[in-house]
Amino acid sequence: MLGEGEKTPKRVHSYGFFGVTTLHVKLDEKQLLQELKKGNRLAFEHLVKRYQHRLLSIACGITLDREESLEIVQDVFMRVHQNIHTFRGESSLMSWMRIITVNLSLNWKRKWLRRFRWKHHDIETEDGGILPDAENSGEHETPEAKYIDRQLEQKIMKNIALMPEKMRTVFVLKTVEHLSYEEIAQTLNIKTGTVRSRLHNARQLLAESLNE
Amino acid sequence: MKETNRIKKDSNESLLCTDSGTLCNQESCYDTMTISSFIDGEISPEESEEVKNHLDNCPVCRQVVDHYLSFEKALNSGIASSFKDQDVKILQNRIMATHDLYAKKGADLNGIQNKIRSKLHSIKDFASSSIFSLPKIYLQIASLAAIIILSITALRDITDVNAPMQSVMAQSSPSAIVTSVNGDISSVIILETEDTHHTIIWYQEV
């Protein structure tokens, strides 16, 4: 199961990263960036551990494809590794990686491949579909309540899958990352008004589908 | 911040609030856009307080909020249940293995780059004392000539083709991906179509 990613890295070490062999230290962003630019492997591993959950959630929310999300996140970290020297630190590392993740998830080449996979395999099937597994969810509920929740969840997820990708991307950034309208607008290079209306439309679309 | 909007409806559209037992007048209900912004914390604190007070007495608006929140729960739950700890661990190992490979390749590349640089220096020295030192205008003329020749050749090829371009564009949608090759600079997808066996899509990363 996905854990909650760290959102606010705590600074527990004021000294340098050299000589530290454990990965349990929490570096602040500036220290981490410095070490990444030096090519420090431990720093990179630290970066992966810190952000992979969150990036995976974003990619998965947009693509709704488990296998592809794993590939995308791997690609994101490789791009970070290759381009870290060009990163000026004007935004946070997470903002930068989030933009890369969104762009890769919306990459048209991947969309083509995804469409083909979806065409030939139902989204509910085991190979890549992200609809929740009945056995894994709602362990503490009564069987009846679990069934109702499961049915509702499935219905919602099906309709999320049917949403236009641009709308879903905004919905995912709000729901998974809890970004403000301003942050979403910056990430996607759109206006805050567009974010507001896309989110509202997404919710209305889902609400209408529940009444069908 | 956006101003809140109340829905204007007939005053006889009142209904009994099941919790409080009081009449809920839908004239005072908020539109769904405002409720959506309220959930996201994108309205002013004063307006937010007003909406909260309204929600305490209005089952209709509260149901809208509950629905909206259930969508978030469903998505987060769907994402969370599609990955196990093991998947994340495997992904991490994969990333680090690729990182190590890139790091090694990078070290190798540095050596090659240094060699190339020294070679380029010697070529530069040679060029500065040869025909390559001709004025830039000749280079521009040569480039222009090459572009014109290539354009003429390409146009002739297009006009020679029996099937017009329109019919190629109008072909039915592809039915399967034959193969996909991903490169560092560009990628290619070969699709199987009904009328022509293969269609190649070339994609260049920007």
Residues of A in contact with B173 (CB under 8 A): none
pLDDT at B172: 47
User: Is residue B75 scored above 50 in pLDDT?
Assistant: yes
- State the best of A42, A97, A136, A156 to mutate against chain B, taking most chain B CBs within 10 Å: A156
Cβ of B71 within 8 Å of Cβ of A206? The answer is yes
Cβ of A153 within 8 Å of Cβ of B74? The answer is yes
Residue A173's pLDDT band, with cuts at 50, 70 and 90, is very high
- Could you give the CA distance from residue B119 to residue A168 in angstroms, rounded to a whole number? 52
Q: pLDDT tens for residues A113-168?
A: 666 665 555 544 444 455 444 444 445 556 666 676 778 888 888 899 889 999 99
- Could you give the CA distance from residue A89 to residue A30 in angstroms, rounded to a whole number? 8
A98: nearest Cα among A67, A77, A82: A77
pLDDT at B2: 45
Choose between B49 and B204: higher pLDDT. Answer: B49
pLDDT at A191: 96
- Could you give the CA distance from residue A141 to residue B110 in angstroms, rounded to a whole number? 59
Residues of A in contact with B180 (CB under 8 A): 109, 113
User: Is residue B6 scored above 90 in pLDDT?
Assistant: no
pLDDT at A54: 94
Tokens of A4: 């909650």
**Per-residue H/E/C for B44-60:** CHHHHHHHHHHHHHCHH
- Could you give the CA distance from residue B151 to residue B154 in angstroms, rounded to a whole number? 5
Burial of A43 (0-12, 13-18, 19+ CB in 10 A): buried
Listing from the earlier edge strand, what are the strands of the sheet with B176-182?
Answer: B176-182, B186-192, B199-204
pLDDT at B206: 47
Reduced to 3 states (helix: H, G, I; strand: E, B; else coil), residue A24 is coil
Do residues B46 and B54 make contact, with C-beta atoms less than 8 angstroms apart?
Answer: no
Residue A177's pLDDT band, with cuts at 50, 70 and 90, is very high
| CB-based contact, A169 to chain B, within 8 Å | no
- Could you give the CA distance from residue B58 to residue B60 in angstroms, rounded to a whole number? 5
Choose between B204 and B106: higher pLDDT. Answer: B106
For the ranges A2-6, A65-69, B122-126, the one whose mean pLDDT is highest: A65-69
Choose between B205 and A200: higher pLDDT. Answer: A200
Cβ of B74 within 8 Å of Cβ of A157? The answer is yes
Residues of B in contact with A49 (CB under 8 A): 92
Question: How many beta carbons lie within 10 A of that of residue B39, not counting itself?
Answer: 18
**What are the residues whose beta carbons fall under 8 Å from the beta carbon of A51, sequence distance 6 or more?**
A5, A93, A94, A97
Q: Which of B77, B82, B85 sits opposite A66 (nearest CB)?
A: B82
Do residues A123 and A158 make contact, with C-beta atoms less than 8 angstroms apart?
Answer: yes
User: Is residue A3 scored above 60 in pLDDT?
Assistant: no
pLDDT at A53: 93
CA distances from B157 to B150, B165, B184 (A): 11, 12, 30
User: Is residue A61 scored above 60 in pLDDT?
Assistant: yes
pLDDT at A142: 65
For the ranges A28-42, B107-121, B136-150, the one whose mean pLDDT is highest: A28-42
- Could you give the CA distance from residue A22 to residue A14 in angstroms, rounded to a whole number? 16
pLDDT at A121: 54
Reduced to 3 states (helix: H, G, I; strand: E, B; else coil), residue B191 is strand
Q: What mean pLDDT do residues A95-117 have? A: 82
- Could you give the CA distance from residue B37 to residue A110 in angstroms, rounded to a whole number? 32
Least confident of A18-22, A100-104, A117-121: A18-22
Q: What mean pLDDT do residues A31-39 have? A: 89
Residue B145's pLDDT band, with cuts at 50, 70 and 90, is confident
User: Is residue A11 scored above 50 in pLDDT?
Assistant: no
User: Is residue A111 scored above 60 in pLDDT?
Assistant: yes
| CB-based contact, A132 to chain B, within 8 Å | yes
Do residues B188 and B200 make contact, with C-beta atoms less than 8 angstroms apart?
Answer: yes
Residue A12's pLDDT band, with cuts at 50, 70 and 90, is very low
pLDDT at B84: 85
A167: nearest Cα among A203, A113, A122: A203
Helix (H) or strand (E) holding B24: strand B23-25
pLDDT at B194: 62
User: Is residue A57 scored above 80 in pLDDT?
Assistant: yes
Cβ of B75 within 8 Å of Cβ of A78? The answer is no
Least confident of A56-60, A116-120, B64-68: A116-120
pLDDT at A194: 96
- Could you give the CA distance from residue A54 to residue B49 in angstroms, rounded to a whole number? 32
The stretches of A5-65 forming alpha helices (DSSP H) are: 29-37, 41-63
Percent of chain B predicted with pLDDT > 70: 52
Q: What is the CATH number of domain A1-122?
A: 1.10.1740.10
Tokens 């991903």, residue located: B182
Tokens of A11: 């600074």
What is the predicted ipTM?
A: 0.77
Burial of A53 (0-12, 13-18, 19+ CB in 10 A): buried
A161: nearest Cα among A196, A195, A205, A192: A205
pLDDT at B154: 63
Q: pLDDT tens for residues B92-127?
A: 999 999 888 888 777 666 666 677 777 766 666 665
pLDDT at A100: 95
pLDDT at B11: 37
Question: Taking the domains of chain B in order of start, what are their residue ranges?
Answer: 14-81, 83-133, 134-168, 171-206
B62: nearest Cα among B8, B4, B17: B17
Maximal CA-CA distance, chain B: 98
User: Is residue A112 scored above 90 in pLDDT?
Assistant: no
Do residues B188 and B165 make contact, with C-beta atoms less than 8 angstroms apart?
Answer: no
Q: pLDDT tens for residues B190-200?
A: 776 666 666 67
